[in-house]
Structure 1
């Protein structure tokens, strides 16, 4: 059943997000204003090495005041493709430049409230270019064996939605016959 939009108006904007009120009508005829958060889209890279390890960043998120492991990720800049952003962010945050990327999974993490898109790519080959140039992203980096990822998720050492979606897709991808 499709909801009908009668109009929308922006009530807040900044470079990170826009907040809109959308005049929406549900299929049963109920009509109201629904808040919608419009976000810049996100590119994520799972860098995998020959030993089936994935490069992860140990970082603090001040909003939840938590530490956890994440894949390198960042916002897609104007004029940039998701793949270009994924490669740029991976190199800036880790010092590793992907030699090639392929789409791994696409997700809309909370499409009932936001239009955010998460584009996750897999890099099976990368080259070290030097220390990360983005110094505010992570306390440390580590190549984490894929065999440890499930337990890290259970222990809540990996909690980022984009990272979870990417790693779970990677585990499925790697477990598939012919992978």
Structure 2
């Protein structure tokens, strides 16, 4: 069943998020105002690995959820910026490691029922250490972890960030099972 839209009105906007009310007709329910959250900038994530099979992760606190956890490097692309260039910039700013190669891994809709937020995830390799992270607000620690350590963190719930959980799980699952093939990204 497909919903029919009769228009939308903006409720709130900022450089980071926009909230809309869409006037929609839902088959079997009727017309309602449905909240839609949009992001003015493209979201990017990365799975960063080295030639020893380790993963580069950030340990940080998220004040909104009040939780500490491990995350992959991530961030927004500036308007008009290529998402691959954006994630290379974010990896270096957040970790102090300059990417060598950045290739598409997978794309997905993060909150398809309420948001247009779409994440583009990249696999980053060939990193060279260039110094301390320039964005010191991103993490308490930046560490290279073994695959076994990452799998244990995932299983223990110590990767509570959805985009990080999706990126790492996709890399360790379908990406590996397909022999490292890139997903059919749109």
Q: TM-score range by the shorter chain?
A: over 0.9
Q: TM-score, normalised by structure 1?
A: 0.94
Q: CA RMSD in A?
A: 1.4
Cα contact 2:55–2:150 (8 A) shared by 1 = no
Please give the per-residue CA displacement for 1:61-102, whole angstroms capped at 9, x wherever unaligned.
000111000001111111111111111100000011111111
Cα distance in 1 for residues equivalent to 2:174 and 2:111: 23
Count of aligned residue pairs for this structure pair: 179
Shift of 1:125: 1.4
Normalising by the residue count of structure 2, what TM-score does the alignment of the two structures yield? 0.91
Query: How do residues 122-137 of structure 1 correspond to structure 2 at under 5 angstroms?
Result: 122-137=123-138
Structure 1 stretches of 4+ moved >6 Å = none
Match of 2:15 in 1: 15
Tell me if structure 1 keeps the 8 A contact 2:60–2:69. Answer: yes
Determine the C-alpha separation between the residues in 2 that align with 1:124 and 1:91: 12
Cα displacement (A) at 1:149: 2.0
User: Which piece of structure 1 moves more, 84-93 or 26-35?
Assistant: 26-35
**1:164 matched to which residue of 2?**
165
Residue 20 of structure 2 aligns to a residue whose secondary structure is: strand
Deviations 1:124-149 (A, max 9, x none): 21122221100100001111111222
Q: Which residue of 2 aligns with 1:143?
A: 144
Distance in 2 (alpha carbons) for counterparts of 1:174 and 1:148: 19
Query: Residues 64-143 of structure 1: matches in 2 within 5 Å?
Result: 64-143=65-144
Unaligned runs of 5+ in 1: none
